[in-house]
């Protein structure tokens, strides 16, 4: 929950208990950050599907990765360049949909999700926290790419 700072772990065993009691499809949710997590939840709980939350913002290809695993294929990998391209598309679409001021306010936290696990991500997240324009955000992204030699 927000009160918990979105910390802690989901109790998948409760999903399994609910699934055993119901005749209708059950959708599991909580802590699905990778395709392997989705597969593990379905296996451990017997749920019929999984719902992906915040992890999809930083990795929109997570859905395709889950589909890959469900089809018995290796989950596709996401390159650093693809992450940056998705970040820019997300920024542009948000500005178009919400307007620059509101979108840039939201991007102060959300753009940082795309760099989770990358080198110097903390520095980028700190820089983006004060972004006010789309142009400023794109400059910070370009500077970050230069710093990491992502072309």
Q: What's residue 151's pLDDT?
A: 77
* pLDDT computed for residue 117 by the predictor: 86
pLDDT (0 to 100) of residue 136 = 97
Q: pTM for the complete prediction?
A: 0.77
- For 46, residues 6+ apart whose C-beta sits below 8 A from its C-beta are 16, 19, 20, 26
CA 53 to chain centre: 7
In the predicted structure, residue 134 carries a pLDDT above the cut 90: yes
């Amino acid at each position: 929950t927000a009160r918990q700072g979105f910390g802690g772990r989901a109790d998948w065993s409760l999903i399994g208990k609910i699934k055993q009691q119901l005749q209708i499809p059950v959708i599991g949710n909580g802590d699905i950050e990778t395709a392997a997590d989705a597969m593990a939840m379905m296996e451990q709980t017997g749920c019929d599907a999984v719902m992906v939350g915040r992890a999809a913002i930083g990795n929109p290809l997570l859905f395709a990765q889950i589909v890959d695993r469900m089809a018995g294929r290796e989950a596709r990998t996401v390159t650093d360049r693809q992450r940056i391209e998705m970040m820019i598309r997300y920024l542009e679409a948000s500005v178009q949909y919400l307007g620059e001021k509101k979108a840039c306010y939201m991007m102060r936290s959300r753009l940082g999700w795309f760099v989770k696990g990358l080198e110097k991500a903390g520095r980028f997240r700190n820089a983006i926290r004060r972004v006010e324009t789309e142009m400023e955000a794109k400059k910070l992204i370009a500077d970050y790419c230069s710093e990491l030699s992502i072309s």
